[in-house]
Amino acid sequence: MTEHSSSQIGSAEPNIPDDPFDDPSYEPADFVVVANRLPLRHSSAPGDDGWLPSPGGLVSALTSVLQNRQGLWIGWPGTSADQEPPSTYEGIRLKTVAISAEEYEEFYLGFSNATIWPLYHDAIRSPTFHRTWWHTYREVNLRFARTVAENVAPGGTVWVHDYQLQLVPQMLRQLRPDVHIGFFLHIPFPPSELFMQLPWRREILAGLLGADLLGFQLHSSASNFSRLARRLTSATGTDSGLDFEGRAIRIGSFPISVDCDQIVELAADPKVRARAREIREGLGNPEFLLLGVDRLDYTKGIQQRIKAIAEMLDDGLLSAERQVMIQIAVPSRESDAHYEQERHDLERAVSEVNGEHGLVGHPAIHYLHKNLPFDELIALYLAADIMLVTPFKDGMNLVAKEYVMCRGDLTGKLILSEFAGAATELRGAYMVNPHDTDGIKESILLAMNAGPKETRDRMSRMRRMIFRRNVYDWAKAFLAALALTTQ
Ligand code: G6P
């Protein structure tokens, strides 16, 4: 395996035209967000042919920071379209990084999603290690780093996001030592027993150590990272800061959140509330509506909760007429064999439950494999009595926070895996170990039988926690910590 050197990365000089004013298209940005994906996704679904904003509070929060600082978002437009995405979105500039079909296989499906993703999620599926994938990961990271280097103003600030771009901080530092670099990992950072499997463990750590500030969802991830860096590189220091090659690197936990005001507003919208009533009526006004909303990913523990529901139906603790479940599985990474298998197994499990326990007009589990508009999701959150969030491992899980934000009347119960990052904040949830089917069943029963006072107390405790810090505060806290590193 070849070590990457500064000669591969390119000149250490900023790659800026001699006289930027000679080139009318050259507008360096003081603030750059770089993520694998742009904030837009292409949809060719009937009715919305074209580019749509990617859903979620993260895009809204970063967009508003970029708007205030006339920033630039650098990313990959996704695979679903041949067309170029627009060059601006909501007043912010977008810059595309192209990825070839081969790089899609080796960088995106391969190293990012079949090596790092499973390794960082407790190796729920065995990670695959291929040298060719690693080489392509390095090449694509270098392309991202060069694109940033060419577009960031002298002394500017760059915020790098997530596991697909872990080498960008170091590569960018070599190209542009003048810029301030923050990196945030949205998924867990694994403990050494897992990370040590990675043949390129030192390179990944060195890549991340190029940043001035490294942000993680939880303290445990920050601590895993810091310990590994001290063990495998020349870095010295503590869980909150390291010295590496003559530089000080801050490390912190910044649990991400949701756009509380947007969700509260949508949940109060009469049209959305009417839709929630319509959903319940359409299901025959069940005694209990249970809901799951997940990207269709093997980390999410969807089959575990279906198994628990199936056993409760077998045991006569639930009946398809009185208790109904809706499971929304958002299509994801469909060309990967693990994801294909997961879909296959999940759909078989759902159809077995319905075949055995459903009645004509009353399936026990209503299953949708599609992307839903955000207001339809909010209507589902409003309609559901019990929300099931049971991942085996999850960086945060914003579905849990979205559900809680919808329950302004303090009804609704959340069943939450103790292995979701959100469990450290949402102490009012019914906590479950997703590997423990009996435990999930007991929690569903507890939630079904809880009285109004207990339900109110639990929900208001969770809401207070989320209101304390929304996704805008999250972005502000990270950027304030990054600004401090440069003083
Ligand atoms: C997780 C990751 C994101 C990723 C998203 C969707 O939330 O942390 O980086 O963008 O999943 O996955 P995809 O592979 O479709 O980008």
Based on the domain organization, do 241 and 328 belong to the same domain?
Answer: no
- Cα 57 to ligand 1 centre (Å): 14
- Residue 118, Cβ density class (10 Å: 0-12 exposed, 13-18 middle, ≥19 buried): buried
Same domain flag for 397 and 478: no
pLDDT digits (tens, 9 = 90+) for 48-104: 768 888 876 688 889 888 988 889 999 999 865 567 889 998 889 999 999 999 999
Closest ligand 1 atom to 186 CA: 8
Q: State in Å: Cα 321 to ligand 1 middle.
A: 36
Phi-psi region of 291 (alpha: psi -120 to 50; beta: other; left: phi over 0): beta
Residue nearest to atom 6 of ligand 1 (CA): 332
Protein residue closest via CA to atom 7 of ligand 1: 186
Q: State the Cα–Cα distance between residues 170 and 148, nearest whole angstrom.
A: 12
| SS3 annotation, the chain | CCCCCHHHHCCCCCCCCCCHHHCCCCCCEEEEEEEEECCEEEECCCCCCEEEECCCHHHHHHHHHHHHCCCEEEEECCCCCCCCCCCEECCEEEEECCCCHHHHHHHHHHHHHHHHHHHHCCCCCCCCCCHHHHHHHHHHHHHHHHHHHHHEEEEEEEEEECHHHCCHHHHHHHHCCCCEEEEECCCCCCCHHHHCCCCCHHHHHHHHCCCCEEEECCHHHHHHHHHHHHHHCCCEEECCEEEECCEEEEEEECCCCCCHHHHHHHHHCHHHHHHHHHHHHHCCCCCEEEEEEEECCHHHCHHHHHHHHHHHHHCCCCCCCCEEEEEEEECCCCCCHHHHHHHHHHHHHHHHHHHHHCECCECCEEEECCCCCHHHHHHHHHHCCEEEECCCCECCCHHHHHHHHHCCCCCCEEEEECCEHHHHCCCCCEEECCCCHHHHHHHHHHHHHCCHHHHHHHHHHHHHHHHHCCHHHHHHHHHHHHHHHCC
Residues 336 and 433 both lie in one domain? yes
Whether residue 1 is contained in a domain is answered as no
Ligand 1 centroid distance, CA of 267 (Å): 25
Does any ligand 1 atom lie closer than 6 A to the CB of residue 38? no
Residue 51, pLDDT score: 87
pLDDT tens sequence across 189-206: 999 999 999 999 999 999
Residue 128 maps to a domain: yes
Whether residues 402 and 478 fall in one domain: no
We report the CATH number of the domain holding residue 429 as: 3.40.50.2000
Query: Which pLDDT value is given to residue 10?
Result: 43
Please, what are the averages of pLDDT over each run of 10 residues along the chain (487 residues)? 36 46 73 95 76 80 88 86 81 94 96 98 98 98 98 97 98 98 98 98 98 98 98 98 97 96 97 98 97 97 98 96 96 93 98 96 96 95 98 97 98 98 98 98 98 98 97 96 88
pLDDT at 487: 60
Distance 14 CA to ligand 1 centre (A): 30
What is the model's pLDDT at position 22? 56
Q: Which domain holds residue 389?
A: 260-468
Identify whether the C-beta of residue 164 lies closer than 8 Å to the C-beta of residue 215: no
In this structure, the answer to whether residues 228 and 289 fall within a common structural domain is no
Whether ligand 1 lies within 6 angstroms of the CB of 186 is answered as: yes
The radius of gyration of the chain's CA atoms, rounded to the nearest angstrom, is: 23
Q: Which pLDDT belongs to residue 139?
A: 98
Residues 476 and 463 in one domain: no
Q: What is the pLDDT, as a whole number, of residue 33?
A: 97
Residue 113, CA distances (Å) to 125, 214, 278, 336, 473 in order: 11, 21, 38, 9, 29
**Ligand 1 center to residue 37 CA distance, Å?**
8
Is the CB of 333 within 6 Å of ligand 1?
A: yes
Q: Which two tokens stand for residue 21?
A: 């004013």
Q: Domain check: are 45 and 117 in the same one?
A: yes
Judge if 38 and 169 occupy the same domain.
yes
- Residues 285, 311, single domain; the answer is yes
- Looking at the CA of residue 164, tell me the nearest atom of ligand 1: 9
* Nearest-atom index, ligand 1, CA of 395: 8
- CB of 54 closer than 6 angstroms to any ligand 1 atom: no
- pLDDT in the model for residue 18: 52
362 close to ligand 1 (CB < 6 Angstrom): no
CA of 117 to the centre of ligand 1 (A): 10
Does 31 map to a domain? yes
Same-domain pairing of 239 and 305: no
Residues in the chain: 487
Give a yes or no: residue 111 inside a domain: yes
How many distinct structural domains can be found in the chain? 2
Residue 281 lies in a domain: yes
Same domain, 309 and 243: no
Residues 212, 310 within the same domain: no
Q: What is the spatial distance between Cα 245 and Cα 396, in angstroms, rounded to a whole number?
A: 32
CA dist., res. 478 & res. 169, Å (int): 16
